[in-house]
Every structure is written in structure tokens, then in C-alpha cells.
């Protein structure tokens, strides 16, 4: 028997876009602003912020395109098998059982 109990065939596209846009904007913004501070005469702070926005948009749109392609191909190819398990409860984590539960 397989260890997988679910098959992933669809991914929500816009949360993927939001996540990659935010990560790209934050990472690219820090890189761009750092470049703007170090090379102030060439890039400037607004140029560094624009670099961060451009990197964020590029990563977000790339992730959106890949999510759409995945959604088109995954049902045809059988999807990706994943294993989903519930999180242990607080009682199971502590190892204590209450007498009221029995």
C-alpha cells in the first residue's frame, strides 16, 4: 500500500502570485536599495526601489504562469501524490491523558 493519501492536481494561482510577488519585492527591494545606497550616483534610492518592484513583478508573474501550466498538465499526468496527516493534539504532545476523556 502507498504512503500517499492525496493527489495534488490543482494549485490556487493567485495565492502563489501574492506569495512570490511579496517575496520578490522584499528580497529585490532590499537588494535594490542596498545597491542604491552603495552606488548612489548611478542607481539612487528610487532606482533601487524600482529594481525591487521589477524583481517582485517578474517573480510573481513567473510563478503565476507556472501555476497555470501546472493546473493544465497535472490532471492529465495524474497529479503529484502527497501525504497529509493531522497535527497531533496538545494532549498527545504532552503525553498526558485526562480521566475525564476515558
- pLDDT confidence of residue 96: 60
- pLDDT confidence of residue 1: 47
Q: Mutual orientation of helices 44-77 and 13-38 as an angle, nearest 10°?
A: 150
97: DSSP letter = -
Give CA–CA dist 2/84, Å, rounded.
12
Q: What is the mean pLDDT of each run of 10 residues along the chain (102 residues)?
A: 75 92 90 80 78 92 94 86 81 62 51
Quick one: residue 72, left, alpha or beta (phi over 0 = left, psi -120 to 50 = alpha)?
alpha
- pLDDT confidence of residue 60: 94
Give CA–CA dist 26/99, Å, rounded.
50
What's the grid cell of residue 14? 493567485
Amino acid at each position: 500500500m502507498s504512503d500517499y493519501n492525496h493527489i495534488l492536481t490543482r494549485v490556487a494561482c493567485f495565492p502563489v502570485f501574492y506569495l512570490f510577488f511579496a517575496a520578490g519585492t522584499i528580497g529585490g527591494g532590499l537588494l535594490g536599495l542596498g545597491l542604491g545606497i552603495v552606488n548612489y550616483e548611478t542607481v539612487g534610492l528610487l532606482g533601487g526601489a524600482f529594481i525591487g518592484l521589477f524583481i517582485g513583478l517578474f517573480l510573481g508573474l513567473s510563478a503565476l504562469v507556472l501555476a497555470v501550466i501546472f493546473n493544465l498538465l497535472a490532471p492529465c499526468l495524474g497529479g503529484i501524490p502527497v501525504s497529509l496527516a493531522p497535527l497531533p493534539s496538545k494532549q498527545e504532545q504532552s503525553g498526558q491523558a485526562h480521566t475525564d476523556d476515558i
